[in-house]
Chains A and B, each alone.
Chain A
């Protein structure tokens, strides 16, 4: 995941704590878009965007207000047979901190 415009994700010093049972949902101000020119998935938001790799796109697609964090982590972990747990949690935390994802109770 690579950040492009003037909002650059800062190193998260105190990682936002997200728990396994949180249910993330994409904030209304953020929008996923397939970019036909670059053949990439993008996440668009006020004054910025993120170019998403495939995993990041799949994670965000699952943030639909129906899946718990643990479900997202397990489902992608199973699919890729690699240890993506920490990466997914870090991505979710960053997006929560930027309020691009909201957490449902």
Chain B
């Protein structure tokens, strides 16, 4: 397949890696602490939005960390509005106030996403690692609705909350969400560190699917439920971002331009910084974007597989983190020569457990960064 040159539709701006929550499956890199002092300033983000719009981006998604920690969040959103970009903001919700929600609305923000960790405060706060956060999140959802935002509730699913999925769906309904995004944990970054506590069992997954299916019927036309499957249990990998460098672009808080938000962990690739080069040059010419674009790079079993134009060989980040080589077939594919890695992990989740997960915070980030440097040089 010769992929014609495509322009990106969607830009994810990870405005900061700082966050009051400590969710153990966070998609930020494990070593995020190394980059927290290099955040882009207001003018840099505004210039990036200019460049992105000129390159064809029509949707911009503000995320983090916690994007509401940015003092200039309104200026950044106003810029997106001026460029006629459709803007989403994804927040943990704990910092949202009545004043702020109205300011976000008048700055031109189009839609709000609030994360929920579970259906009750005890479980929710155990997962988010933040006491008294659950009530704040519920209040944030109410504020968002009252301000007239279309509200998405998003929930990362895993072993510890999958059994509560019915109650989670009810909660989203009660909060007045128009969309519920149920995303099974993707095992990159922090989630991979905590896999033994997060990877569900097959009966859990099957039960959840049937609950989701009946909820969809019940809520048809009222609340849309997006369910992102747990790829460890699938025969073929997910069409990760509809192909590398094809539709999506992510920019980290310190300006690194990535084809996918987890890609920073692929340490064998060098990613460019939006401080040094234009987004256009990076999107079309950089090695990091071109290397896995299309299908020519693919090894067997992808190369001769008819699925390759559907799943694009799966997730490059997962391939790298599990095998040390980003250019192999995603190990979750049942045809991958590395698929035993997945089978082993599934076996382990039935029998073994860590005592406690590693929370995502600066101290743990420092500790794990140093440990990984030490282990790699031994």
Contacts and interface: CB of A to CB of B under 8 A. Distances in A.
B179 A35 contact: no
B55 interface: yes
B178 A99 contact: yes
Interface in A33-73: 33, 35, 37-38, 42, 44-47, 49
Contacts, number: 68
B110 A29 contact: yes
A28 B147 CA distance: 13
B220 A97 contact: yes
A29 B87 CA distance: 11
Interface in B155-214: 178-179, 181
B212 to A, nearest CB: 13
Interface string B31-67: 0000000000000000000000011101101000000
B224 A37 contact: no
Contact of B224 (A14, A31, A42, A98): A98
A4 B242 CA distance: 9
B86 A31 contact: yes
B111 A4 contact: no
A1 interface: no
Contacts of A7: 224, 226
A16 interface: yes
Given A4-B247, A37-B7, A99-B178, A46 B226 contact: no
A38 B56 contact: yes
A16 to B, nearest CB: 7
Given A6-B226, A28-B148, A31-B86, A49 B110 contact: no
Contact of A44 (B59, B181, B226): B59
Contact of B58 (A14, A49, A97): A49
B216 to A, nearest CB: 9
B9 interface: yes
Contacts of A49: 9, 58-59, 86
B9 A46 contact: no
Contacts of A86: none
Contact of A47 (B58, B88, B242): B88
B203 to A, nearest CB: 26
Contacts of B84: 33
B152 interface: yes
A33 B81 CA distance: 13
A42 B59 CA distance: 11
Contacts of B56: 35, 37-38
B229 to A, nearest CB: 12
B306 interface: no
B361 interface: no
B150 A46 contact: yes
A46 B58 contact: no
Interface string B237-251: 000001000010000
**Residue among A5, A33, A47, A49 having the largest count of chain B Cβ atoms under 10 Å:** A47
A4 B246 CA distance: 11
Given A5-B247, A33-B58, A38-B7, A46 B221 contact: no
A42 B58 contact: yes
Nearest to B183: A6
A38 B7 CA distance: 8
Interface in A55-105: 96-99
Contacts of A28: 148, 150
29 contacts: A4-B9, A4-B242, A4-B247, A5-B247, A7-B226, A14-B220, A28-B150, A29-B150, A29-B178, A33-B84, A33-B86, A35-B56, A35-B58, A38-B7, A38-B56, A42-B58, A44-B59, A45-B86, A45-B150, A46-B113, A46-B152, A47-B111, A47-B152, A47-B179, A47-B181, A49-B58, A49-B59, A97-B221, A99-B221
Given A5-B10, A37-B7, A44-B59, 20 more contacts: A4-B9, A5-B9, A5-B242, A5-B247, A28-B148, A29-B150, A31-B86, A31-B110, A33-B58, A37-B56, A44-B86, A46-B110, A46-B111, A46-B150, A46-B179, A47-B59, A47-B179, A49-B9, A97-B220, A97-B221
The 3 closest A-B pairs by CB, nearest first: A29-B150, A46-B111, A37-B56
